[in-house]
Structures are given as structure tokens and as C-alpha cells.
């Protein structure tokens, strides 16, 4: 072993020029790799910051979410991609999202350029009136399809307000997209208790961006129970 080490040392000494070139190559290659990695990470962070995802339920959930977005979207960065997630069986919510987007303009200049948005259709975890036995399989299917959706868009912000469709989206956003912020706004119909989705998100701490309710008394009740992060910031209507 000692003889091998001495021979290797002598070889390096005799070939110091080659060794210097090799060392220089390694330094340059390492620097280029570091710069490429930093550029990739920066692009990832920018893409993450420029994608927002909104989950539309149906009926009252969609009406409340669109009312909230009407007051929120004009103040946001208009270069951001907005992704509306709608159940495949809910054509009405998709049309309402399109109608909302039609009222928005890019702002500044001519103001007629349409803003970037996309409507994504997903499978419902459970249809109204569906048996619990068959809902196990539809829920599993929903989790699989929404995982691909979240990975494709990698949203930096997810806004939900209680429909069952939002639960797989929230879970995958927290698991698959480091740095993603989830904001939950409980439905105005929940006056003195949370919906099942709200209870799950609150107990599991999935709403890392903020958890909001629309009734002050409900916020105080939840805080008294130890959920100090629950916030009341007024009502949508």
C-alpha cells in the first residue's frame, strides 16, 4: 500500500502540468455547474411565484370564490398564470370562471390584452349522493389525477373555500411543491361550525398561508379551543 502511494505521488510530480490542467478543468466545470444549478433554482422560484391555483366547487362555493377573486385579482401581478380547477361534471363553474376572466384586462397601455389563465378539469372525489363504498375508488382516482395536475403547474399559492374537490389539491401542493402557500376561506354558510374540509385542513395544519372564517363568533370559538391561527377578516358578501 505504501509503495503504491509513493508511486502515485511520483507520478503526480512528474506530470504536474497535466495535473494542473486537470485541476483547472475541474474548477471551471464546477463553477459552470454551480451557475447552471443557481439559474435553474431561480427559474423554479420565479415559476412558483407566478402561478396561482383556485379550486371552484359548485353552486355556493363557486359563487363565493368568484366574488372573492373579483376584489383580489385586479391588485395582483397581471403577468401571473391563474389556474382554475373545476370538476369535470361542473360545466357551469368553468363558464363562470371564463366570464370572470373576460372582465379583466392587463392594465396599462391599451389594456385589451387578455390575462393568462387556464381551466383544468379534474375528477370529483365524491359526487352528491354517491355511496361511501364506491366513493373510495373515485377518491383514489381523484388523488392520482390531481397529483399530475399539481406537478404540472407547481402553484406558489392555492386558494380554496371548502369543496371536497380541493382536498387532494391541497395535500399534493403541500407534499409536492415546497414553498407553496395554501389559503383557506371557510364558506359564509358555516356560521357556528366548520365544514368537514375545514376541520381536516385545520387539524392537519394544511392551510399554511392562512385559515379564515367569515363569522367573528366562529373565529372566537375556534380560538378558545386552541386554534389561535384562525382569522376573521370580514365577509365576502
Query: Which residues are registered as beta bridge partners of 137?
Result: none
Indicate the Cα dihedral angle 189, 193, 196, 197, nearest 10°.
Answer: 70
The answer on pLDDT for 138 being more than 80 is: no
**Residue-wise over 171-185: b if at least 16 C-beta within 10 A, else e?**
bbbbeebeebbbbbb
- At residue 3, the pLDDT reads 55
The answer on pLDDT for 63 being more than 50 is: yes
Q: What mean pLDDT do residues 40-56 have? A: 66
Amino acid at each position: 500500500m505504501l509503495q503504491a502511494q509513493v508511486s502515485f505521488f511520483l507520478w503526480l510530480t512528474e506530470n504536474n502540468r497535466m495535473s494542473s490542467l486537470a485541476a483547472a478543468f475541474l474548477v471551471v466545470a464546477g463553477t459552470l455547474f454551480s451557475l447552471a444549478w443557481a439559474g435553474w433554482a431561480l427559474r423554479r422560484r420565479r415559476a412558483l411565484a407566478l402561478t396561482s391555483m383556485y379550486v371552484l366547487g359548485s353552486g355556493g362555493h363557486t359563487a363565493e370564490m368568484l366574488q372573492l377573486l373579483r376584489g383580489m385579482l385586479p391588485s395582483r401581478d397581471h403577468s401571473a398564470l391563474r389556474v382554475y380547477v373545476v370538476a369535470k361534471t361542473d360545466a357551469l363553474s368553468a363558464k363562470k370562471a371564463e366570464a370572470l376572466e373576460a372582465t379583466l384586462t392587463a392594465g396599462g397601455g391599451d389594456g385589451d390584452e387578455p390575462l393568462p389563465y387556464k381551466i383544468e378539469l379534474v375528477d370529483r372525489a365524491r359526487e352528491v349522493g354517491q355511496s361511501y363504498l364506491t366513493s373510495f375508488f373515485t377518491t383514489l382516482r381523484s388523488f392520482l389525477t390531481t397529483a399530475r395536475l399539481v406537478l404540472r403547474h407547481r402553484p406558489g399559492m392555492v386558494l380554496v373555500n371548502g369543496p371536497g374537490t380541493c382536498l387532494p389539491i391541497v395535500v399534493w401542493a403541500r407534499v409536492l411543491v415546497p414553498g407553496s402557500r395554501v389559503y383557506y376561506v371557510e364558506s359564509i354558510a358555516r356560521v357556528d361550525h366548520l365544514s368537514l374540509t375545514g376541520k381536516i385542513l385545520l387539524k392537519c395544519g394544511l392551510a399554511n398561508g392562512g385559515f379564515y372564517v367569515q363569522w367573528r363568533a366562529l373565529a372566537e370559538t375556534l380560538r378558545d379551543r386552541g386554534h389561535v391561527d384562525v382569522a376573521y377578516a370580514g365577509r365576502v358578501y
